[in-house]
Structures are given as C-alpha cells and as structure tokens.
Amino acid sequence: MAQVRADNNFNGVYWVIEDGQEKVATSNLAPGKKVYGERTVFLNGIEYRIWDPFRSKLAAAILNGLKFFPFKEGSRVLYLGASTGTTVSHVSDIVGAKGIVFAVEFSPRVANEFIDRCVKFRKNIVTIVEDARKPENYVGVFGKVDVVYCDIAQPDQTEIAIKNCRMFLRKDGVLMLVIKSRSIDVVKEPTKVFEEEEEKLRANGFEILQKIELAPFDKDHALIVSKKLF
C-alpha cells in the first residue's frame, strides 16, 4: 500500500512511497488529467502526479540535492521554454490556484500541443507564443514575478535569461537557469561552460546560490540557481 509525505522543505512537493521506494510527486491541480503520460496515485482523497526526473530537469535537480526551491503556493513565475508542458504542469500544481505561470514558447506547433495537453485544464497558466529574446513583446505578463525559470537550450540562453530578469524579476527574486553545455559549446568541458555562464550571472548582479549537475538524468546539463540582487 502506497503512502505519501509532504517534503520537509519544499512547499508543494510530495514523496510517494511505494515498495520501499520514494518518488517525487505533486498534487494534481487538474484531477483526472495527465500531461505527459505520467503515473498518478490516489491517496487520502488526493491525486498525486509522479514527477519523472528523466523527463523534467527540475525533478532531476530535486533528486540530485537541490537546496533552494523558490516555488510555493501563490508564486508568480515566468517560465521560458514551456515546450509541451512537462515541467510547467508540475510548477502549476505547486503554485496552485492563487499563483500564476507565464509560459513562453516560440514554436506555434509546440505551443498548440502545450495548450491541448496542459493549459486547457489549468487556470493558472498564461501561454505566450513569443521569442524569449524579445521580452518587450510579452503583452500577457503583468507585474513582477518571484521566479524566472529558463530552459530554452540556446547558445545565448544566459543573456536571454538576464534580459527577461531585468524586465520581469523582482529584486531578490530567483533565476533558475538550465544550462545544456553542448548547446553553448560542443567541444568545451561542460564544467568550464557552467563556470563561464555563472560568471556572466555574477557580472550582471546575480548571486549564485547553487549549481547542480543533472546526470545521470540529463548528461552535460546543470541547473544554476541564482538571486537577483538589484
């Protein structure tokens, strides 16, 4: 018989215990609806969605020892690179009905799939079909956000993330930046690439809180968590 416990430190994150194994999960904001074929477990009247670390880099970071988790009920989030909504859907579960996720995706085809699978069933997501290089075009975003999450796998992703933070992230807000080292430089050592991107963040007024590598779930990827000091 499965059991569930809330994470001690991360608001909205749960651990489903089955056959002696703990699996990270969130409580489904759209009961009965799945987004990416994830497994669901019904316990004490609540439906939990098992969060797959091989499909979501945020889940991989949690399993690899993430210490700073800026999302909580009511958080306002700007999410760059929504894709078809795998990670966005779990963030949407966590911030709940009082929170909001502004989700940016530049491919209209991908954005349509995202809307069909995910946004249709959740009132706390605003889809923005735009290029993250041009945050001045986001008409849907209102006010400042608490968190910017960036996972766009582009060579200039750090610069793009910084530009978005300048416009939309509040002071002391958190930037979570996924770095795919091969998108930046295919030959350079990933550790060196991660260091160079961290340096760009520091030079632009961010304090690095943690760098967490995502192997074995995602090879040559890291998540850099930083705080906007200005």
| Tally of CB atoms within 10 A around 69 | 20
Q: In the beta sheet, which residues pair with residue 148?
A: 78, 175
Q: Please report, as residue ranges, which positions from 75 to 134 form the binding site for ligand SAM (by CB under 6 A).
A: 81, 83, 86-87, 104-107, 110, 131-133
Question: For ligand SAM, which is the closer residue by CB, 57 or 227?
Answer: 57
Q: Show the site string, 7-46: x = touches ligand SAM by CB under 6 A, - = not.
A: ----------------------------------------
In angstroms, what is the minimal distance from the CB of 24 to ligand SAM? 14
Listed in sequence order, the DSSP H helices in the chain are: 57-63, 86-95, 108-117, 157-168, 181-184, 190-203
- For residue 181, state whether it binds ligand SAM (rule: CB under 6 A): no
Query: How many residues are recorded in the chain?
Result: 230
Binding-site size for ligand SAM (CB under 6 A) equals: 18
Cβ neighbourhood burial of 222 (10 Å; 0-12, 13-18, 19+): buried
Q: Show the site string, 48-67: x = touches ligand SAM by CB under 6 A, - = not.
A: --------xx----------
In angstroms, what is the minimal distance from the CB of 134 to ligand SAM? 8
Binds ligand SAM by CB under 6 A, chosen from 27, 124, 154, 204: 154
Binds ligand SAM by CB under 6 A, chosen from 4, 152, 184, 212: 152
Pull the structure tokens for residue 193: 């690439």
Please report the sign of the dihedral spanned by the C-alpha atoms of residue 189, residue 194, residue 195, residue 200: positive
- Please confirm whether the linkage preceding 216 is cis (ω < 30° from 0): yes
Question: For ligand SAM, which is the closer residue by CB, 92 or 226?
Answer: 92
d(CA 146, CA 163): 15
Residues in contact with ligand SAM by CB under 6 A are 56-57, 81, 83, 86-87, 104-107, 110, 131-133, 151-154
